[in-house]
Amino acid sequence: MTSELNRMTIAEARDGLARREFSALELTRACLEQIKLVDPKINAFITVCAREALAQAAAADRRLAAGDAPALCGIPLAIKDIYATRGVRTTCASKMLENFVPPFDATVIARLREAGAVFIGKANMDEFAMGSSTENSAFGVTRNPHNVERVPGGSSGGSAAAVAADECLGALGTDTGGSIRLPAAFCGVAGIKPTYSRVSRYGVIAYASSLDQVGPFAKTVRDAAILLRTLAGHDPRDSTCSARPVPDYEAALTGDVRGMRIGVPKEYFVAGMEPQVETAIRAALASYERLGAKLVDISLPHTEYAIAAYYIVATAEASANLARYDGIRYGLRVDADNTGDLYNRTRAAGFGTEVKRRIMLGTFVLSAGYYDAYYLKGQKVRTLIRGDFDRAFARCDVIATPVAPTTAFKIGEKMADPLQMYLSDIFTISVNLAGLPGLSIPCGFDRDGLPIGLQLIGAPFAEETILRAGDAFERTGAVKRRAAIL
């Protein structure tokens, strides 16, 4: 039993800890053992926090013994290395922040601490969350636990891989254009991007401020619901964060989807999609019908403009967000005789290729004379896309789509062609542009054993609905397969 603790779900571990069947320390040790065993093969972590994690676990045990156990007491989590963690280096997978140790916690980190969670380590990612494969990391590529020749998806690839490889019970990611949902799909785990403003962004290193959103990875939809309840809620440090009360997401998991209207947008079933992906999605839709849900054909006509709009808005915001990495106050500095050269050398040495590409793109679209043609147009497209969804949600409760047109691709396969890489997010990006919640759950495997993800999109703040739908599908038990490296 003890050696398998790390394979548990959060719900299982919560019960086991409460019944004192094992200790938080044992649970954390099991995860650390697993990391020792498998992480050399997948490189899911930039920093493993063994000492801190064991101390947190010991503290959790004291609280458990005192009968004062908060929601996530003793639960080991992987934290994407984009979250500021006080006293633990936070790199954002960039050379720029290789030795940066924040003096403060992100709001969600503080919330998780309060809830008794154990931070097992800082997970690998694409540098500054820019990428779809976790190949753009200054700390090496993360490999897919289902096939180490494949990418785990990105940008939160380390978090997804760590969960899939049972190195932790759950993980934090962030999602700006699909960075939770794509790796969840590629690694065969659950991942939810909540409504924009549902979770505080304070202390989350910004990529694109109007799109970035915090969310969890988990082995089950129930676990994702448990984590989201702790993460969500108002934060006076984030002016864009909603004051809406946080529901008990776990209580929404009734298993009942009878009468639920599931919208199927025709624009998401197009040429270029792998037939095996479409087959799996259609099968999942058929399951929903068997469970009593109703399928509704819908249209999201502006879908084709989403990627273009995204790469304008996101890069514009990124170009400003990343201006602070100038070598003056913290992080990498490459010295020079004058300030201009200091900036140039520091930023040339500190940023990777994709980050530079996006900073330049964003700088261009905001430049005098181009603003109206690009940034403003991008924002208008965003309004149209939001309108598409508003109309669709008048006719359905949930929208179901594939997460990606393919399963996990080979490492290196798309690195030479950024545009091909950008297309990986074709089905996830609109959800960010519209600020909606989106859940990714495994719904099958291709012939090579690679997971296929189903995306369930909700209306603003309809997290309960998509979690209920995801959980109901999960209960059918159709798709359980352990990662190959296990």
Partner 1 sequence: MSDSAYEAIIGLEVHTHLMTRSKLFCGCSAGFGAGPNENVCPVCMGMPGVLPVLNRHAVELAIRAGLAAHCEIAPESIFARKSYFYPDLPKGYQISQYELPLCKGGYIELPAHSEGAEPRRIRLTRIHMEEDAGKNIHESDASLVDFNRSGVPLVEIVSEPDIRSADEAGAYLRELRSILRYIEATDGKMEEGGLRCDVNVSVRKRGASEFGVKTEIKNLNSFRFVEKAIEHEVARQIEILESGGRVAQETHLWDPVREVTRPMRSKEFANDYRYFPEPDLPPLRVSPDMVEAIKASMPELPADQRARFVRDLGLTAYEAAVLTQDRDLAAYFETMLATGLKNHRTAANWVMTEVLRAVNETARPLADAAPLAIESGQLLKLVETGAISLNAAKTAFAAMCKSGKGAGATVAELGLAQVSDEGAIAAACDKVIAAEAAKVAEYRGGRDKLFGFFVGQVMKAMGGKGNPKVVNEILKRKLNA
Active site residues: 80, 155, 179
CA separation for the pair 467, 248 (Å, rounded)? 11
In the complex, least distance from residue 254 CB atom to partner 1, rounded to whole angstroms: 35
Q: Which of 205, 218, 361, 426 binds partner 1 (CB under 8 A)?
A: 205
Tokens of 288: 């929903």
Helix, strand, coil % (nearest 5) of the chain? 45, 15, 40
Q: Does 348 bind partner 1 (CB under 8 A)?
A: no
E-assigned strand segments in 181-230: 190-193, 213-218
Cis, peptide link before residue 155, omega less than 30° from 0: yes
CA separation for the pair 169, 215 (Å, rounded)? 15
Residues 6+ apart with CB under 8 A from 329: none
Buried b (16+ CB within 10 A) or exposed e, 438-448: bbbbbbbbbee
CA separation for the pair 174, 207 (Å, rounded)? 10
CA separation for the pair 233, 185 (Å, rounded)? 26
Q: Which of 326, 354, 397, 471 binds partner 1 (CB under 8 A)?
A: 326
Pick the stretch among 11-19, 22-30, 237-245, 428-436 that binds partner 1 (CB under 8 A). Answer: 237-245
Q: Which residues, 58 to 87, sit near partner 1 by CB under 8 A?
A: 82-84
Q: Does 243 bind partner 1 (CB under 8 A)?
A: no
Q: Which is nearer to partner 1, 86 or 282 (CB)?
A: 86
Pick the stretch among 94-102, 260-268, 410-418, 446-454 that binds partner 1 (CB under 8 A). Answer: 94-102
CA separation for the pair 277, 264 (Å, rounded)? 15
Query: Which residues does residue 457 pair with via DSSP β-bridges, in sequence order?
Result: 399, 438
Q: Which residues, 364 to 403, sit near partner 1 by CB under 8 A?
A: 366-368, 371, 375
In the complex, least distance from residue 399 CB atom to partner 1, rounded to whole angstroms: 25
Q: Which is nearer to partner 1, 258 or 372 (CB)?
A: 372
Q: Which of 40, 103, 259, 275 binds partner 1 (CB under 8 A)?
A: 103
Q: Does 319 bind partner 1 (CB under 8 A)?
A: yes
CA separation for the pair 379, 119 (Å, rounded)? 38
Q: Does 349 bind partner 1 (CB under 8 A)?
A: no
In the block, tokens 């992080």 appear at 331
Q: Does 150 bind partner 1 (CB under 8 A)?
A: no
- Backbone phi, psi, residue 455, to 5°: -105, 130
Q: Which of 1, 239, 245, 394 binds partner 1 (CB under 8 A)?
A: 239
**Under rule CB under 8 A, how many of the chain's residues touch partner 1?**
44
Q: Does 207 bind partner 1 (CB under 8 A)?
A: no
Pick the stretch among 47-55, 161-169, 359-367, 450-458 that binds partner 1 (CB under 8 A). Answer: 359-367
- HEC assignment per residue over 74-125: CCEEEEECCECECCECCCCCCHHHCCCCCCCCCHHHHHHHHCCCEEEEEECC
Q: Which is nearer to partner 1, 90 or 401 (CB)?
A: 90
DSSP state of 292: T
Q: Does 310 bind partner 1 (CB under 8 A)?
A: no
In the complex, least distance from residue 312 CB atom to partner 1, rounded to whole angstroms: 11
CA separation for the pair 280, 196 (Å, rounded)? 29
Q: Which is nearer to partner 1, 34 or 90 (CB)?
A: 90
Q: Does 102 bind partner 1 (CB under 8 A)?
A: yes
Q: Does 330 bind partner 1 (CB under 8 A)?
A: yes
Q: Does 169 bind partner 1 (CB under 8 A)?
A: no
> In this structure, are residues 175 and 193 in contact, taking their beta carbons and an 8 Å threshold?
yes
Q: Does 251 bind partner 1 (CB under 8 A)?
A: no
Q: Which of 92, 163, 164, 180 binds partner 1 (CB under 8 A)?
A: 92
Q: Which of 113, 150, 201, 219 binds partner 1 (CB under 8 A)?
A: 201
Q: Which residues bind partner 1 (CB under 8 A)?
A: 82-84, 90, 92, 97, 100, 102-104, 106, 201-206, 208-210, 236-240, 316-317, 319-320, 322-324, 326, 328-330, 339, 343, 363, 366-368, 371, 375
